[in-house]
Structure 1
Amino acid sequence: MVPSNPTFSAFAFVGFLLVSIPLPWHLQSWNTGTCMYMAWTSLGCLFQCINSIVWNDNVVNRAPVWCDISARYIIGTSVAIPASSLCIIRRLYRIALMQSVERTKRERRLDIAVDLSIGVVFPIIVMALEYIVQGHRFDIYEQIGCYPATYNTTLSYPLVLMWPVVIGLVSSVYAVLTFRVAFKRKTRLQEILRTNSQISTSRYWRLMMLSGIEILCTVPLGLYAIILNSAGNQVQPWLGWADTHYDFSRVGQIPTVIWRVDPFAIVGLEMTRWLYVLCAFTFFAFFGLAEEARMNYRRAAYSVARSLGFAKSWRGNR
C-alpha cells in the first residue's frame, strides 16, 4: 500500500530538516563527501516536498522553469548521492592507509578538488548528457510533480541510466579494501583516530556503515531501475537528434487516474521520491543522535536562548 501524498510531503519536509540542520558543523570537519551527501539529499527532499504540495491534485504547468530545474535535479541526484558516498568511502580508505591523518593545506585542497569533481562536476556532466536523450521538456505527474522526460532509447542507458550502478561497483571495491585494511591495521588506525580532531573512531565507523548501506542499496536499485525502465516501455533505437527532440517543447501532463493503473509507473515514481526520504532518515539515524550532534544541539539551543535573553535561566535548567 502506497502512503498518501500528504504523508509523503510531511516526511520529505522532516527529512529536509534532519539533514540540513547538522550541515554547518559537518562543514567544519572538512569531510567534503559527507557535506555533499547532505546537500544533495536535503535539497532533494525539499524539491520533492514542494512538488508534492504544488501538484497534489492537478497537473497544471504553473511553474515551467521550476520544473526544468527540478527534473534536471532528479537526474543529477541519481548520480550525485552515490558519488558522494564514493567520496566518503574513498576518504576512509585513505585514512586507513595513512600513518597519520594530518594533512597539509595543499593536500586538503587537492582532496577537496577531487571530491568536488566526483560529487558535483560529474553529476552536472550527466545532467548535460541527459539532454541528448531528453524526448521533450518534462512531465508533470499528479501528486508527484515535475519529472524528467528521458526518451527510452538505447543511448539513454550508457549516457544516463548506467552510472549509479558503475559508481556503486567502484564504491564496493573501495569498501572491501577499506574493511580489509582497517581490520588488518586496527590498532594503528585507532591510534591515528585518537590524535585527530576532525574525525573520531566512532564517526569513522559510522561513516563506514553509512557507506556500506548506500553501496548495498545503490547497485541493486540501479539495476532494478534499468530493468524497470526497459520492461515498462519498449526500448527504441537511437535514430538521431531530430527524431529524439521532435516536438521538444511539449509537456506531458499525467493525472493519477492514468499513471496509477500502470504498476511500472507506480514503482518507478514512488521509489524515486521516497529514496530521498530514506537517505535523509538513514543519515540522521547514524549522525543525528550521536554525542557530537547532541553537543551541537545544546550549543544551538543556548545561542537561541541567549539571543532571546533567556541564557541565564537556560543554563541553570540544563
Structure 2
Amino acid sequence: MPAVNHVFTVFSLLAFTSPSVPFTWHLTEASSWNAGTCLFIFWTGLSSLVWFINSIVWDGNIVNWTPVWCDISTRIAIATTIGIPASMLVIQRRTYFMVRQSATNEKTAQKRRALAIDLLIGLGLPILNMILSIIVQGHRFDILEDVGCYPAIVNTSLTYILITLWPVFIGIASFVFTVMNLSYIQRHRHSLDSWMECTPSSLLTSSLYIRLVVLGFIAFGLSSMLSVRDLVSQITSGSVVWPGWNVVHADFGRVDQIPRGIWAGRGAHSGFGVELKRWVSVGCALAAFFVLGTTREAGERYRAFGRMILKVLGGKNGQQDEENGDLKRYAFG
C-alpha cells in the first residue's frame, strides 16, 4: 500500500516543519518553566524528521542504503519513545508546582535546580534508555519496506525493565500531574489571570496554561496507545527469560530486510504497531503546533515575521512605493 506511505510522508514533513515556528521563540525566551515545551517540540520534531527521511529513502524497497544512518535513526526512535512522555511530564510537573508557589520568589539557585531536574527527566532519561537498549538489541537493525530503519529489540524478561515499562510509568505520572492541573483550573479559573501577571515570563499566560493541560491529555492519549500496545504485544507473544549477553548478541551484525507484505502481517497486530509507532510522533508534533502555535501571541509573532520578510523582499522598491504614495497623497490632498 504505497499510498499509505506517501500520505505519511506528507504529514511527517508538516509535523517537522510546523512546530519549529513556536520552538524558535520558546527556545530564545527559555526560562526555568518552559524547558518542557522546548523538549517536547524537540523530541516530536526530531522523530518526525527521522520517520520522514526513512519513508522517502525506503519507499517501496528494503535496500540497505545507509547502515550508519540506520544505526543513528534506530537509537533516536528508541529515545523518542521515552522522550515524548518524559517531556510532557516535565511540562505538567513544572506548571503544577508553579501555580502553587510564588514564582516571583524563586531565587536563581532554585530556578537552576528546577531546570536541571527538568533536563534530567526530559533529556537524561531518554538518553539513558537509548544506551541501555543495546543490552536487549538482538541484531544491528531491521529494514521494513516503506518504514525504513527499525530497532531490533528481543522479547525477553529484561526488556520489560529496560524498555517496555518506562513509557508506561512516565505516562501515568504525566497524566496524574495533568489531572491535578485541570483540577486547579476548575477551582481557580477566576483568579488565573491575576496570578499569571505575577509570573516572570511573558510567555506563560492563563490561556497558554490551559492549552498546555489540553496538550497533556492529547499527548497522553497518543503515547499511551503506543506504550500499552507494546506491553500487551510483548506479553501475548511470549517473552523468554534473559538468556545472557552472548546468546542475545551472537549474530549482532545481522540486518533483516522485511517487505511490507511480511511485516504488516507478522504476529498479532504487528503492522498496526509499526504504523502506530511512527504516527504517534507525527500526531504529537502536530498537536504541539495547534496548541502552542495558534495562540494570540503566536499570531502577533507571525505578523511581525511577515512584515520583516516583506521589508526584506521589498528593499528599495518598497521605499520607492512608499515615497510615491506620499507624493500622491500630497498631490491629491
Higher-Rg member (1/2): 2
The 5 A counterparts of 1:234-273 are: 234-262=238-266, 264-273=269-278
Contact 2:171/2:220 (<8 A) preserved: yes
Aligned partners of 2:264 and 2:272 also within 8 Å: no
Q: Which residue of structure 2 lines up, in the alignment, with residue 23 of structure 1?
A: 23
Aligned partners of 1:244 and 1:156: how far apart in 2? 12
Residue identity opposite 1:239 in structure 2: P
**Which secondary structure state, in structure 2, belongs to the residue aligned with residue 174 of structure 1?**
helix
Give the unaligned 5+ runs of structure 1: none
2:188, 2:277 → 1: CA distance?
39
Q: What's the TM-score once normalised by structure 1's chain length?
A: 0.92
Deviations 1:98-152 (A, max 9, x none): 2344633322222211111001111110011100000001000010000000011
Identical-residue share of aligned pairs (%)? 39
Q: Deviations over 1:38-79 (max 9, x none)?
A: 011111111000000000021111111110111111110110
Instruction: Report the CA distance between 1:281 and its aligned residue.
Output: 1.5
Per-residue deviation, 1:284: 1.7
Question: Is 1:42 aligned with 2:48?
Answer: no
Q: Which residue of 1 aligns with 2:6?
A: 6
Further displaced range: 54-63 or 208-217? 208-217
Maintained 8 Å contact 2:21/2:293: no
Relative to 1, partners in 2 of residues 1:114 and 1:100: Cα closer, same or farther, differing over 3 Å?
closer
Alignment of 1:239-318 (within 5 A): 239-262=243-266, 264-310=269-315
> What residue is the counterpart of 1:96 in the other structure?
99
Aligned residue type for 1:305:
L
TM, length-normalised to structure 2: 0.88
Query: Which residue pairs with 1:152 in the alignment?
Result: 155
TM-aligned CA deviation for residue 188 of structure 1: 4.4
Q: Deviations over 1:233-281 (max 9, x none)?
A: 4312211000110110101110112212335221111001111111112
Aligned to 1:211: 216
CA distance in 2, matches of 1:14, 1:53: 14
Higher mean alpha-carbon deviation, 118-127 vs 290-299, is at: 290-299
SS of the aligned residue for 1:162 comes to: helix
DSSP 3-state at the match of 2:183: helix
The reply on whether 1:70 has 2:70 as its aligned counterpart is no
Question: Bigger shift: 95-104 or 243-252?
Answer: 95-104
Contact 1:41–1:81 under 8 Å retained in 2 = yes
Q: How does 1:50-89 map to 2 (within 5 A)?
A: 50-89=53-92
**Superposed displacement of residue 187, structure 1:** 4.3
Equivalent AA in structure 1 for residue 11 of structure 2 = F
Distance 1:58-1:2 versus aligned 2 partners, 3 A rule: closer
Which amino acid letter does the alignment assign opposite residue 257 of structure 2? Answer: Q
Aligned positions, number: 314
Partner SS state of residue 240, structure 2:
coil
Range moving further from structure 2, 218-227 or 275-284 = 218-227
Distance 1:221 1:259 in 2: 17
Cα distance in 1 for partners of 2:68, 2:301 equals 37
What is the Cα deviation at residue 176 of structure 1? 3.0
The residue type paired with residue 51 of structure 1 is N
Matched, 1:221 2:241: no
Q: Select between 119-128 and 219-228 the one with higher mean Cα deviation.
A: 219-228
Q: What secondary structure, in the 3-state scheme, does the structure 2 residue paired with 1:309 have?
A: helix
> What do the CA deviations read for 1:155-177 (whole angstroms, capped 9, x no partner)?
10111011111001111222233
> Is the 1:57–1:143 Cα contact (8 Å) retained in structure 2?
yes
- In 2, Cα distance between the equivalents of 1:22 and 1:185? 28
User: Is the CA contact 2:142–2:152 (under 8 Å) kept in the aligned structure 1?
Assistant: yes
Residue 153 (structure 1) shift: 0.9
Shift of 1:217: 3.6
Give the gaps of 5 or more residues in structure 2: 326-333
Whichever residue aligns with residue 257 of structure 1, its letter is G
How far off its partner does 1:14 sit?
0.9
Q: Deviations over 1:173-222 (max 9, x none)?
A: 22233333444444444311033323011001001111122224433431
